[in-house]
Structure 1
Amino acid sequence: MSAETDETFESYGADVGAGSGPLSRFREWFVVEGNRVVVAALLAAVVLALLLALRWTGIIAFVEPNSVTRVASGMIAGTFSLVTLVVSVNQLILSQEFSAAGKARERLQGVVEFRRDVADDAAVPATPAAPTRVLELLVESIRNDAAALGDAVADHDEAIRETVAGYTNDVHQRTEDIEQVLEHAEFGSFSAVSAAINYNEAWHLYAATHLQNEYADSLSPAAAESLEDLIESLKLFNVAREQFKTTYLQRELTRFSQLTIYAGVPSILAAILIGLLYADFTGPSISTAVMPYVVIGLITVGLSPLFLLVVYILRTATVTRRTASVGPMIPQKDPDEGPFDVSYGEDS
């Protein structure tokens, strides 16, 4: 069992979103890692190049006023609909901020109790104010608890030592990876959120709980206490990550709302200008040689709110999907995967 367990400990933990090939890395950058404004600009450049290519090949033309003005009218209606959606998103965010005195007091008490638990777990006078530092402190606590567990089972049976060593080595490796990212991350940057969600503490919590119950009669009091401390640290990290993720998503959606409003005005003006270019009954008011390129440019500007919607929804939806579970639940895995095959009534 030990050899199989060690191998599983090294491979089973989900590296969410990880990919080794260039295509996987580009997809990860495009969906979640890249700056959203840069990704939106890339989308705009692709659409611009596509429209130009279609124009050069003669597939599309801009000589029929009615067709072009209908496109402009549709862009105006779509932009207004998107602005309405943004207003709804802002209302949803604001609704979470409004609370009566009693509810606000409960929220504050919950935060105070959580910070006290983190301070006690990490043996510090007070929990840091910076959210990224809180995560970093909990990661240090997890790694230290895992090291203490490994030392505590040094005099146990070989099977227990090998099993625990496989687990603690995996904890140590993965916490080192996330700590390196958190050291250079700032609150509000996606790198901090990415580091938090890519650390699969759900698997470590699940494995620790299984080891605690499996070897309840074989672990020494010191080892049992170290394992319990590790489980508590993992639970606190899960809570901190959820709070950190929620705060980040609120800021992200607020930023999306601001950018959409900023891009919405030029978008509507671009669509109106397209219609005005064809308003003269004698035909377009500028040269027909440059008209297609002007219209293509205006269409790209008019679609800018849509590009922002795509890139921001891709990121927020991906982050939400990857952190959909709470606690030792691993929805990314198949039901039959994993090293711990159990059946009803096994302990009895």
Structure 2
Amino acid sequence: MSEDVSTASSVRSIDGPVERATHWLVLGGNRIAVSGVLVAAVVAFFFPLARFGVLAIGPDSAAASAFASGLISGTVTLVTIALSINQLVLSRVFGSPNELSSQLGGTRDLRGRVREHAGESAAPNDPAEFLDLVAETLAERADRLGSAVENAAGGPPREVEEYAEGIAAYGESITAKIESQTAIVNVLEVVLGTEYARNMTATEYVRNEYGDRLSEEADAELDAIDDLLGAIAITRQFFKTLSLQQDFARLSRVVAYSGLVALAASVSLALVYRPDSVTVPAQHLPVVFSLGVGVVVAPLTVFIAYVFRAATIARHTVSVGPFVPPEERSD
């Protein structure tokens, strides 16, 4: 096969503690847990500064006005933004009967093509099981292509054999990493890389370079592989839509809850301060101040945690087909 065209025999893997930690932070981790880590980092940052007097938090400081005005207005603004996002999500799920029928027809067409290639009576409804069926069928069709090429007269082209082996390994690697009944975002993670695009390009190369030397059986298997790779490209975009809609719906709800708590905390902390004293012992004020700041910034950390994942998914799913931006390849 050409030096510039090759198959991707495996989906990407996350290796090393730094990569795993980064992956957990921006994509794989539970968003509430990520938000909790960010809140803990904020508290850990402010406590020593307040404890050793780097920050002025006494009765004569600006802490009271900060809690009473700036943080309250910031919390209200953030909650408003989250609710606006919720309205945007709702607008995406509405549609006329014609639009909804078109969406349903497209989904049924995709499921029907996969079902025919797999030889099944019905395609599964669970996203993980559906992608698993696509991957298993892809590996099976690649094995059939390899067998058809081996049995061809005149000897098989070595490049086609390598192609079939690479595609089969790619399908098997997807199957190995998928867990049934898992969250959509976890299913999406498996096919978030650019491997599908490399394999689509390799399929195009094999068809144009060796298509006239393949038997009808091998050509049919190559058509099925091409269609299944296209199904992976479409499926990952559809799963991206579902995942982001679910995340933004959860985001608006969690920000509304945490925003109410943050607002109450801001008011409470503002009332702790008197003109010349505070209502808590001075030795406890650094702890109260640091924990209060952590509670107040909780809606922001929730927002950041969900934006991390949304931005990461959007960055890695820019392209629907074999056109892959350089930034996505470098990631």
Could you state the TM-score of these two structures normalised by the residue count of structure 1?
0.86
Q: Does 1:317 align with 2:311?
A: yes
Matched AA of 2:219: A
Query: How far apart, in 2, do the equivalents of 1:226 and 1:290 lie?
Result: 72
1:148 to 144, 147, 152: 144
Shift of 1:204: 0.8
Gap regions ≥5 residues in structure 1: 338-348
Q: Does 1:191 align with 2:186?
A: yes
Q: Does 1:288 align with 2:290?
A: no
Q: What is residue 163 of structure 1 aligned with on the other side?
A: 159
Find the residue that maps to 1:216 and give its secondary structure: helix
| Cα contact 2:51–2:286 (8 A) shared by 1 | no
Shift of 1:236: 1.6
Q: What is residue 307 of structure 1 aligned with on the other side?
A: 301
Matched AA of 2:301: F
Shift of 1:55: 2.5
Q: For residues 164 and 268 of structure 1, do their structure 2 counterparts lie closer, same or farther at Cα, with a shift above 3 Å needed?
A: same
Give CA deviations for 1:231-285 in whole Å, capped at 9, x if unaligned.
Answer: 011112222222122112111111111111111111111111111111x333212
**Identity rate of aligned residues, in percent?**
29
Gap regions ≥5 residues in structure 2: none
Q: How many residues are treated as equivalent by the alignment?
A: 329
Q: What is residue 59 of structure 1 aligned with on the other side?
A: 54
Could you state the TM-score of these two structures normalised by the residue count of structure 2?
0.91
| Cα contact 1:185–1:192 (8 A) shared by 2 | no
Q: Does 1:223 align with 2:218?
A: yes
Greater alpha carbon shift after TM alignment, 296-305 vs 215-224: 215-224
Query: How far apart, in 2, do the equivalents of 1:119 and 1:104 lie?
Result: 22
Shift of 1:68: 0.4
Q: For residues 248 and 239 of structure 1, do their structure 2 counterparts lie closer, same or farther at Cα, with a shift above 3 Å needed?
A: same
Q: How does 1:246-257 map to 2 (within 5 A)?
A: 246-257=241-252
Q: Does 1:80 align with 2:76?
A: yes
Q: Does 1:42 align with 2:37?
A: yes
Q: What root-mean-square deviation, in Å, do the aligned CA atoms of Structure 1 and Structure 2 show?
A: 2.5
Query: How far apart, in 1, do the equivalents of 2:42 and 2:301 lie?
Result: 10
Query: How far apart, in 1, do the equivalents of 2:8 and 2:194 lie?
Result: 14
Query: How far apart, in 2, do the equivalents of 1:97 and 1:26 lie?
Result: 34
Query: How far apart, in 2, do the equivalents of 1:93 and 1:264 lie?
Result: 20
| Cα contact 1:203–1:330 (8 A) shared by 2 | no
- Deviating runs (4+, > 6 A) in structure 1? none
Q: For residues 117 and 69 of structure 1, do their structure 2 counterparts lie closer, same or farther at Cα, with a shift above 3 Å needed?
A: same
